[in-house]
Chain A
Amino acid sequence: MSFPWANQYNPKNPFMRWMDDRLPLPRLVYNAVGAGYPVPRNLNYFWNFGVLAGAALAIQIVTGIVLAMHYAANAGVAFQSVEHIMRNVNGGWFLRYAHANGASMFFIVVYLHIFRGLYYGSYKAPREMVWLLGLVIFLLMMATAFMGYVLPWGQMSFWGAKVITGLFGAIPLVGEPIQIWLLGGYAPDNAALNRFFSLHYLLPFVIAGVIVLHIWALHIPGSGNPTGIEVKGPQDTVPFHPYYTAKDGFGLGIFLLVFAILLFFAPNYLGHPDNYIEANPLSTPAHIVPEWYFWPFYAILRAFTVDFILPAKLWGVLAMFGSILLLFFLPWLDKSPVRSGNFRPKFKMFFWILVVDVLILGYCGGAPAEEPYVMISQVASAYYFAHFLIILPLISLSERPLPLPNSIIEAVLKGKSGSTLSTGTQTAVSAPAE
């Protein structure tokens, strides 16, 4: 499960030795995130985001549990109970703003984490399972955040829930019964709010469980690195602790800095004003939009405007779910044996087009469903599908990768390791611009 040269856990303290014989939990930690886990020495800052996502989950769980002590999941009083938290509970405003903005921070770091994986080919063998489990976490996060946003029972909570659960109604025959079954009624109501609260409390712990599997699967081959070549010997690695604990500590500081600026100085910047109006089934908001982290998918959903064999709405739903599900097939769609985008000139170009494309989709998803945004979403959605399903499978046929270094240590010494901190900057192959 690890490299033969990994440090061995060797407790000196008699209590730790006693413990190790009975419950070797410290040994597990030592081997997982301690000095017993050898890691490539050339990781750049893009490798910080996994740990940061873990930190974000911890923050959500802690703030969420305390919020749940004051929150009331009943459609008659939910909105009021959130205002009670904001006004009367000690530090309640802090908890709630931390939780709401913590969700945004969680998605920011997870998106960077995912795009890191896309650029460096982290999804390729032998790390396919790590990638697949990561996608499971992403789906669970989206479900959790969606249901969490319903809890304050504001206008966007209600109408967002109505629109998203309404998507199931597009499925032929079984759609409507499924929708009613999910909501416990014809429209979001007390029954829906209660089950959403129950699941919103449950899913983060399921996520924590899948994270354990994600890291377990990662530790079988060990971490990847910006060159994409595998570790060959002890000179290629450093122990996780203290090298990467120190680096992650600094990364955590920057994360907290951004988080604090949002939370304390712009706590409602990423939210929608309509969610400060209590849910009213009789008054539809002018523009129903989900939270920002769903915008790219919302744009894809709304890009299908014409019936073509299937109704447009069904196409939209299929495409929206398809846009995420296709990522599960990525390890088998992109067959280039070279992992890192640093050595794949064509791939690299298309990768950056994809980044811009997703940003455009995000912008259109947050904009009202009118022209020119719909037409732009159509072009951008078409590129999104073409990128993963057509371009990636085909470019590896014609692409000539740049020569790979022989080993990580050689790349490091030549300043070509792709670590953003490498001293030699006269590299032919540079790391992606940040």
Chain B
Amino acid sequence: MVRPIGILAGLGFVAVLLWSLVWGAVAFIQEPPQPTAEHEFHKHPRDAGLSSAGLLGKYDRQQLQRGFQVYKEVCAACHGLKYVAFRDLQDLGYSEAEVKAIADQWAIETPSVNPETGEAATRKNLPADNFPSPYPNEVAARAANNNALPPDLSLIAKARHDGSNYVYSLLTGYRDPSPELLREFPDSKPGQGLYHNPYFANLNIAMPPPIVSEGQVTYTDGTRPTVDQMSKDVAAFLTWTAEPKLEQRKSAGLASLVFILVFCFLAWGAYKNVWRGEPH
């Protein structure tokens, strides 16, 4: 009984699927899917060559500090870092006193309450505070950015495909739309307040190019602050904000692999030993 019913049900599903296939094929031939501008002109991120990439890669502390400086002097005007606390910066090699000073002098204060009147107020940041958001809320953020919302950058390096390289590519990817693009897709000309960037998903981003000229940030460690260098540095910094435990993870991984390999070796020996002489 099961088999006849099964065969009938099977024929039913197969028939409906092939019916769908025929209709899909007809539609495909009559109206082949139109290529889109994103399909043809979107680019995959370029390799930033960060030291944290690769199996055993580690962060370059100098670079993270430079990247932090770029974030502080350029990006922080528009982007928050709400999952990162000032004290986490000690990880980058800053001393406790330096972190305290950084928090204290941060341009944006942390929301608080006036202890006398109970009214909303702000106070200076403490090392235990997370980075304050540059805008009080989403409406304010959009109002200041042509109705676009600058996302929080804490996790950006994990929230995009190939995120670290993406940040670097995005920052260095601003250019005029190519003539081929404008010829094929006249509509993709960036509108008011938009900028062409082939690394951005829909090719037109609302963020004005943030890093535009050499020396925009003055590095204290002697590195030449080219546009490319600053973009790489801030990409490294944002990789760290997204994955602060990367180094612990990799070294724990290495230790685990050694341990597990020894275990496998012993287990293999035990297995061979137990089965010796036993036909199987």
Contacts and interface: CB of A to CB of B under 8 A. Distances in A.
Given A253-B263, A256-B260, A333-B2, A382 B18 contact: yes
Interface string A40-51: 011100000000
Interface string A274-317: 10110000000010000000000000000111101000100100
Contacts of B23: 305-306
A54 B151 CA distance: 42
A293 B24 CA distance: 26
A276 B158 CA distance: 6
A50 B3 CA distance: 29
A227 B83 CA distance: 57
A249 interface: yes
B158 A322 contact: no
A306 B18 CA distance: 10
Given A41-B278, A41-B279, A253-B264, A393 B270 contact: no
Interface residues of A, number: 70
A67 B145 CA distance: 38
B33 interface: yes
Nearest to B6: A389
Nearest to B246: A93
A60 B33 CA distance: 44
B245 interface: yes
Contacts, number: 174
Interface string B154-196: 1100111101000000000000000000000000000000000
Interface in A257-271: 257, 260-261, 263-265, 267-268
Interface string A390-433: 10011000000000000001001100010101100000000000
Interface in B7-24: 7, 9-11, 13-14, 16-21, 23-24
Given A243-B275, A265-B55, A304-B16, A257 B257 contact: yes
Interface residues of B, number: 57
A250 B14 CA distance: 43
Interface in B255-274: 256-257, 260-261, 263-264, 267-268, 270-271, 273-274
B3 A41 contact: no
Given A253-B264, A268-B158, A315 B275 contact: no
Contacts of B271: 246-247, 249-250
A312 B18 CA distance: 13
Contact of A385 (B14, B21, B274): B14
Given A249-B270, A273-B159, A254 B264 contact: yes
B249 interface: yes
B252 A264 contact: yes
A263 B253 contact: yes
Contact of A41 (B21, B159, B273, B280): B280
A394 B278 CA distance: 40
A389 B242 CA distance: 49
Contacts of B250: 264-265
Nearest to A243: B274
Nearest to B54: A265
Contacts of A138: none
Given A329-B2, A382-B14, A421-B280, A260 B248 contact: no
Interface string B199-212: 00100000000000
Given A375-B28, A389-B6, A412-B280, A260 B13 contact: no
Contacts of B7: 389-390, 393-394
A3 interface: no
Contacts of B16: 304, 306, 308, 315
A256 B257 CA distance: 9
B25 interface: yes
A246 B267 contact: yes
A62 B168 CA distance: 39
Interface string A353-394: 000000000000000001100110011011001101110011
A322 B6 CA distance: 11
B10 A388 contact: yes
14 contacts: A41-B278, A41-B280, A238-B280, A246-B271, A249-B270, A250-B270, A261-B257, A264-B254, A268-B158, A375-B21, A375-B24, A389-B6, A389-B11, A390-B6
Interface of A: 41-43, 80, 83, 86-87, 93-94, 97, 238, 242-243, 246-247, 249-250, 252-254, 256-257, 260-261, 263-265, 267-268, 273-274, 276-277, 286, 303-306, 308, 312, 315, 319, 322, 326, 329, 332-333, 335, 370-371, 374-375, 378-379, 381-382, 385-386, 388-390, 393-394, 409, 412-413, 417, 419, 421-422
Sort A-B residue pairs by CB-CB distance and give the 10 closest, nearest first: A264-B253, A389-B10, A253-B264, A276-B159, A332-B2, A250-B267, A378-B21, A385-B13, A382-B17, A246-B274
Given A385-B10, A385-B17, 19 more contacts: A87-B83, A246-B267, A246-B270, A247-B275, A249-B271, A257-B260, A260-B260, A264-B254, A273-B158, A308-B19, A322-B9, A335-B3, A374-B24, A375-B21, A375-B25, A375-B28, A386-B10, A389-B13, A393-B3
